[in-house]
Amino acid sequence: MAKYFQGEDIREIFSRNLRFFRDRKHLSQFALSNKAGLAHNFVNDIENRKKWVSPETIAKLSVVLDVEPYQLFMTNPLNGKETKRIHLYLDELNDRFNEAVGEIKESYLLQDDEKIR
C-alpha cells in the first residue's frame, strides 16, 4: 500500500533534504541563497518549514546543490553514516587523483626542461 503524506510531511522531508544536501556541499544558508538568487531569509524559512517553494525555486536549488529535483523529496536519501563514509572515500579519491596528476605534470615539466637544455 502506498504511503501518502500530508502537506506538513512533505515540507519536513523537503526541509530536511535541503539542509542535508546544503551541508554536503559545505554551503551556508547565505551562500546557497546567493548562488540560487534567493533571499537568505527565504532559505532559512524553507529549512524551518515556514515557507514553501515554487517549481522555479526547486529548480534553482537543485542546480546549486547538484541534485535532481526529486532527490529533495526522497524520504531517506542516505543516512548520516553512509553519507560520511561516501564523502570520506570521495575526498580520499580526489586527493589521490590530484597527487597523481601533480606527479605526471611534474614529470612532463622535468622532461620539457631536459629537452630545452
- pLDDT tens digits, the chain, 117 residues: what are they? 345 555 558 888 899 999 999 998 999 999 999 999 999 899 999 999 999 999 999 999 999 999 989 889 887 665 556 666 777 777 888 889 999 999 998 888 877 666 665
Looking at domain 7-75, does it have CATH number 1.10.260.40? Answer: yes
Joined grid coordinates for residue 48: 524551518
Q: How far is CA 110 from CA 17, 39, 96, 114, in A?
A: 48, 50, 21, 6
pLDDT at 110: 76
The pTM for the full model equals 0.61
If you ran DSSP here, which 8-state letter would residue 5 be given?
A: -
The H helix count followed by the E strand count for the chain is 5, 0
23, 78, 76, 29: which is closest to 51 by C-alpha? 29
Listed by start position, the domains of the chain span 7-75, 78-117
pLDDT at 79: 54
